[in-house]
C-alpha cells in the first residue's frame, strides 16, 4: 500500500514537471502526446521494476524453500552423500548472487530516476537564465545599433562640412594668390605701413594749413599805402614760414 501511494505521488509530481516544461528552442510547452509517451515509458519502467521485485520475492521464497528442503534433507537423510550437499550449496550461492545482482540493478534504476529529475530541474533553471541573458543582450545590441547609426550620421555631416570648408579655402586661395608668397606679403605689409604714415601726414598737413589760414585771416587790415604794404609783407612772410614748415614735416 505504501509503495502504491509513493508511486502515485511520484507520478503526479513527474506529470506536473512535464506539463510546465518548455522547449529550449521554441519556448513552447511540451505537447500532451509527448507527455503521454514519457508517462508510458515511465510506466513501463515501473512495470519492469515491479517484475524485478516480484522475481526477487519469488527467488527469496525459493531460497527459503530450498533452505527448508536442505534442512529437511539434512534431518531426514543423514546418509546424504557429500556431493549432493555441495551441489545444493553451489546452487544456493548462485541464487544469492542473482538476488544481489537484481538488488543492485534496482538500486541503479532508483538512482538514475532521481538523477534524471534533478537534471531536468537544473536544465529548466539554466534555460530561464539563458533566455534572460539573451533578452538583455538583444537590448544592448539594439542600443549599440542606434548609437552607431547616430555616429554614422554625425560622420556624414562632418564630411559634408569638411568638403564645404575645403571648397571655401580653395576659393580664398584663388582670390588671394599672394598669400602663398613671403616676398609679396612683406611688400604688402611695407606698402600698407607707408600708406598709413602718408595718410597721417596728410591729416597733419591739413590741420596745419587750417591753422595758418586762420592766422592769416585773423591779421587786422588798415587803409591803403604803407600800412597795407607792411601787413602784406608780414602776411607773406607768415605764409612762407608756414609752407616751409609744412614741406619739412612732409619729408619725414
> Is-contact 41 98, C-beta < 8 A?
no
Rounded to 5 degrees, what are φ and ψ at 68? -65, -40
Q: Domain locations in the chain? A: 2-130, 182-218+232-250
The pLDDT score that the predictor gives to residue 174 is: 67
Joined together, the cell numbers standing for residue 212 give 595758418
Cell output for 46: 515501473
Cell output for 16: 506536473
Please compute, for residue 213, the number of CA atoms within 13 A of its CA located in the half-sphere on the CB side.
6
Per-residue confidence (pLDDT) for residue 127, from 0 to 100: 93
Our CA angle for 239, 244, 245, nearest 5°, is 100
**For position 247, what pLDDT does the model report?**
46
Supply 183's cell numbers.
616676398
Residue 59 grid coordinates: 527467488
pLDDT the model gives residue 225: 42
- So what's the pLDDT on residue 229? 43
Model pTM above 0.85: no
Spell out the per-residue pLDDT of the chain, length 252, in tens: 555 555 667 677 766 776 666 666 666 666 777 767 877 887 888 888 888 988 899 999 999 888 888 877 766 666 556 667 778 888 888 999 999 999 999 999 999 989 999 999 999 999 999 999 889 988 888 888 888 888 888 888 888 988 888 888 877 776 665 555 667 677 778 888 989 899 998 999 888 888 888 888 776 554 444 444 444 444 444 444 544 554 444 444
Q: What angle do CA 65, 89, 78 make, to 5 degrees?
A: 80
Interatomic CA distance for residues 247 and 109, integer angstroms: 130
Cα–Cα distance, 16 to 34 (Å, whole number): 14
**Closest by alpha carbon to 105, among 43, 60, 49, 58?**
49
Q: What is the pLDDT of residue 251?
A: 44
How far from chain centre, in Å, is Cα 137?
8
Amino acid at each position: 500500500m505504501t509503495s502504491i501511494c509513493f508511486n502515485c505521488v511520484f507520478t503526479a509530481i513527474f506529470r506536473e514537471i512535464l506539463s510546465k516544461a518548455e522547449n529550449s528552442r521554441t519556448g513552447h510547452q511540451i505537447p500532451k502526446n509527448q507527455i503521454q509517451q514519457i508517462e508510458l515509458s515511465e510506466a513501463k519502467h515501473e512495470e519492469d521494476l515491479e517484475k524485478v521485485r516480484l522475481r526477487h520475492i519469488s527467488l527469496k521464497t525459493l531460497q527459503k524453500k530450498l533452505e527448508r528442503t536442505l534442512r529437511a534433507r539434512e534431518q531426514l537423510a543423514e546418509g546424504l552423500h557429500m556431493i549432493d550437499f555441495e551441489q545444493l550449496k553451489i546452487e544456493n550461492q548462485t541464487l544469492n548472487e542473482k538476488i544481489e545482482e537484481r538488488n543492485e540493478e534496482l538500486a541503479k534504476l532508483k538512482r538514475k530516476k532521481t538523477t534524471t529529475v534533478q537534471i531536468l530541474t537544473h536544465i529548466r533553471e539554466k534555460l530561464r537564465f539563458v533566455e534572460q541573458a539573451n533578452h538583455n543582450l538583444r537590448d544592448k545590441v539594439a542600443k549599440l545599433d542606434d548609437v552607431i547609426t547616430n555616429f554614422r550620421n554625425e560622420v556624414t555631416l562632418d564630411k559634408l562640412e569638411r568638403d564645404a570648408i575645403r571648397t571655401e579655402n580653395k576659393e580664398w586661395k584663388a582670390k588671394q594668390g599672394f598669400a602663398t608668397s613671403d616676398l609679396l606679403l612683406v611688400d604688402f605689409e611695407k606698402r600698407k605701413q607707408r600708406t598709413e604714415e602718408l595718410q597721417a601726414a596728410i591729416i597733419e598737413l591739413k590741420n596745419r594749413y587750417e591753422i595758418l589760414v586762420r592766422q592769416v585771416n585773423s591779421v587786422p587790415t588798415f587803409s591803403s599805402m604803407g600800412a597795407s604794404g607792411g601787413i602784406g609783407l608780414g602776411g607773406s612772410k607768415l605764409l612762407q614760414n608756414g609752407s616751409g614748415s609744412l614741406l619739412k614735416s612732409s619729408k619725414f
